[in-house]
Chains A and B, each alone.
Chain A
Amino acid sequence: MNDPRPHPRGGLGARKKERIDSLARAGARRDDAPDTEVASAGTVDDRAGVSLVASAWRRLRRNVVFLAGATIVVLFVILALVAPLVAPHDPSAGLLLSQVRQQTNPIPGPQPGFPLGGDQAGRDLLSRLLVGSRQTLYVGVFATLGGLIGGLTLGTLAGAFGGWIDSLVMRVVDVMLSIPSLLMAFSIAAIAARPSQWTVILAIAIVQVPIFARLLRGSMLAQRHSDHVLAARALGVKPAPIVFRHMLPNALGPVIVQATLVVATAIIDAAALSFLGLGNPDDRVPEWGQMLGAAQTYLAGYPHLAFYPAACIIVVALGFTLMGESLREALDPKSRR
């Protein structure tokens, strides 16, 4: 039951689980790495050690992939924060509505003051794209946070107590993992009586919960068998501080890395939900996925309408993925130094 290895049972979730567990192990191995360092360092043992974070940062600073990802992410976040200020027009005002002709000219083209033209409701496309970044950031951040909170709670419960609590939590998590995540998000979002941006966020958060839970549980178990936890127990430290001071902070590494990657999936999933009309039905607040969905009707004649939001989604998701993956590599002790 305490075995952190993937279940022998195959099935839909098996590959997903294996990946999560390998992530957890990668994070846990940091305990063994300094071991060999001390032993092999011999006479130079008395120099100050190099912390994992410091050495990871040293390598990340020169890592092109990481820098590219981080640049995209930072630009995106800044843009999302200042978008309403830099957007040339009000994204919800139909300024070009007078040019929209249902049969002959449904989409107003580029013109002075409107470099990308308007959409089917005569609203400035550029402004909508810029301000749309906000919703994307909200979804990415809040869905990830929600998933983190749920996953941390379950994972801590399972990893700290072990025994039947662990078994129970992990069976629930396994069931959740065996359902394809997008399908589950669709189902949850579809149940909502009044769909909104928040139901999308909730749906995606719930989908992320089992991933975080399994990941944290794995690295908590590794912590439970670590030397410093044994040493703390040898000093009579009580269970609560053992869990929250000695295990949890050391188990968070792989979870934080995963969180970066989850932002990317959350953005894509949110776009997919909006695209399928499960998001906020009110299209006055621009959202990339919803814009993409609306562009379907005009795809033959006006592909740019779909291209811009799609490109935005891809670039931002790519930024988070690049950053997350290189973080994970840098924090993996196997690739240390």
Chain B
Amino acid sequence: MSTAASPPDRRHPTAPADGPAVHDPAAAGRSDATGPLLSVRNLTVRFRRQGEEDFVAVDDVSFDVRAGQTVGLVGESGCGKSVTSLAIMGLLPKRGNTVTGRVDFEGIDLLSLSPRQLRDRRGRDIAMIFQDPLSSLNPVVPIGVQVSEVIERHVGLSRAKARPQARELLSKVGIPDPDRRLSEYPHQLSGGMRQRALIAMALACRPRLLIADEPTTALDVTIQAQILALLKELVQDSGTALVMITHDLGVVAGLCDRVNVLYGGRIVERADRHELFATPRHPYTNGLLASIPRLDAPRGQRLSPVPGSVADNIPWDHACAFAPRCDRPVAACREVTPELVTDEAAPSAPGGLPRALRCHHPVEPGQESR
């Protein structure tokens, strides 16, 4: 369970090195100004399956989020993004899975807290918004009551006292005519408005960390941009740290300071945003980047999504799960599991943190397929 008492990670010498505190074992146990707000270490989630081996949805994932920072968790559908965020929040089903590793939030391991302690932190210290704004709202309760509920719960105000705050929150997230909206039901709001209301609920108690799990995927394109702009503005104003979960590197480009690319439940590449976009090193990242529509691309040039699908994955033991879809595989890719190691070859911004990479045959700087 607890690996943090020992030096960070024996298998991946540099893997969790996302912040200075990590190399100091004692730092994991206290909350100091320089330490990360959230530090996820070797998080592993296994789902038990009947008559089969456990399914490892999240495999030894480590990353840090510092106060006010925006960190991206990127990967295609099924790579374990949602399971990671639910594990951090303690929202995975009670039965049928095992979670190991550490999730330190302000120095306290969330995985070791009782359900009650965790419940007190959710919504107050850490909040989360989900993919589908319609189904994330209770259809039979007015918006105002749903927003006030959070304030009542964590601030201890009465319904009547919480209502003006709820109204203010709605106008802060850009919902016009908030007085009327307070008494409306979710189905009376548009998709964009619903997501705004959910953002209002999540930020009602000024949490220090917000996890946004594909918050724009269910929305139409123009609304997507508005919601992203709103999120960016709100987290900047309030100093809230944001974990942005997305399958779309385009979203990352405008928002994230640091990016973790997930594949098959494992982190395959980690870098600062600018470096990742300038010199993608993992063939998967490279493929994802090549599939972003670009304004400066020659007309008529086809987008090239990463070929194949998650179904082609092979197990990580004795191979790289991405090998069957990789455009530059070598023999080792099907024989040896690649480890997440510091990426020495790639240029790193001066003063920046070391990049990490899990690949036997990374893309050389200058060879990016674009």
Give every chain A residue within 8 A of B91 (Cβ-Cβ): 230, 233-234
Give every chain B residue within 8 A of A249 (Cβ-Cβ): 140-141
Chain A residues 102-152 with CB under 8 Å of chain B are none
User: A238, B190: Cβ atoms under 8 Å?
Assistant: no
Bound state CA distance, A245 and B128, in angstroms?
20
User: B153, A235: Cβ atoms under 8 Å?
Assistant: yes
Smallest CB-CB A-B distances: 10 pairs? A236-B123, A235-B123, A46-B190, A236-B122, A227-B135, A49-B187, A231-B136, A45-B191, A234-B128, A51-B187
Convert A74-118 into 0s and 1s, putting 1 for each residue whose CB lies closer than 8 angstroms to a CB of B: 000000000000000000000000000000000000000000000
Chain B residues 75-114 with CB under 8 Å of chain A are 89, 91
Tell me whether A45 and B140 are in contact in the complex, defined as CB-CB below 8 angstroms, given that A237-B123, A238-B153 are known contacts.
no
Convert B121-138 into 0s and 1s, putting 1 for each residue whose CB lies closer than 8 angstroms to a CB of A: 111100111101111111
Among B27-35, B160-168, B218-226, B276-284, the one that faces the other chain is: B218-226
11 example contacts (A-B, Cβ-Cβ < 8 A) are as follows: A34-B134, A38-B132, A43-B220, A46-B190, A46-B193, A48-B188, A228-B135, A235-B150, A236-B120, A236-B150, A237-B123
Bound state CA distance, A41 and B192, in angstroms?
13
Tell me whether A236 and B130 are in contact in the complex, defined as CB-CB below 8 angstroms, given that A34-B135, A245-B141 are known contacts.
no
Chain B residues 151-193 with CB under 8 Å of chain A are 153-154, 185-193
Asked if A232 lies at the interface with its beta carbon under 8 angstroms from chain B, I say yes
User: Closest CB of chain A to B72's CB: distance in Å?
Assistant: 20
Asked if B139 lies at the interface with its beta carbon under 8 angstroms from chain A, I say yes
User: A38, B130: Cβ atoms under 8 Å?
Assistant: no
8 Å CB contact of A234 from B89, B185, B220: B89
User: A234, B188: Cβ atoms under 8 Å?
Assistant: no
User: A226, B122: Cβ atoms under 8 Å?
Assistant: no
Q: Helix, strand, loop or mixed for chain A's interface?
A: helix
Q: Which of B123, B127, B135, B153 has the most CB of A within 10 A?
A: B135
User: B220, A46: Cβ atoms under 8 Å?
Assistant: yes
User: A246, B138: Cβ atoms under 8 Å?
Assistant: yes
Give every chain B residue within 8 A of A250 (Cβ-Cβ): 138-140
* Closest residue on chain B to residue A1 by CB atoms: B95
Chain A residues 9-59 with CB under 8 Å of chain B are 30-31, 34-35, 37-39, 41-43, 45-52
Chain A residues 215-269 with CB under 8 Å of chain B are 226-228, 230-238, 241, 245-246, 249-250
Give every chain B residue within 8 A of A39 (Cβ-Cβ): 218
Give every chain A residue within 8 A of B218 (Cβ-Cβ): 38-39
Bound state CA distance, A41 and B47, in angstroms?
34
Bound state CA distance, A47 and B91, in angstroms?
32
* Closest residue on chain A to residue B131 by CB atoms: A227
8 Å CB contact of B130 from A51, A52, A231, A237: A231
Give every chain B residue within 8 A of A37 (Cβ-Cβ): 134
User: B135, A35: Cβ atoms under 8 Å?
Assistant: yes
Give every chain A residue within 8 A of B249 (Cβ-Cβ): none
* Closest residue on chain A to residue B85 by CB atoms: A234
User: B190, A48: Cβ atoms under 8 Å?
Assistant: yes
Give every chain B residue within 8 A of A245 (Cβ-Cβ): 138, 141, 149
* Closest residue on chain A to residue B150 by CB atoms: A235
Give every chain A residue within 8 A of B189 (Cβ-Cβ): 48-49
Give every chain A residue within 8 A of B122 (Cβ-Cβ): 233-236
Asked if B202 lies at the interface with its beta carbon under 8 angstroms from chain A, I say yes
Asked if B198 lies at the interface with its beta carbon under 8 angstroms from chain A, I say yes
User: B136, A241: Cβ atoms under 8 Å?
Assistant: no
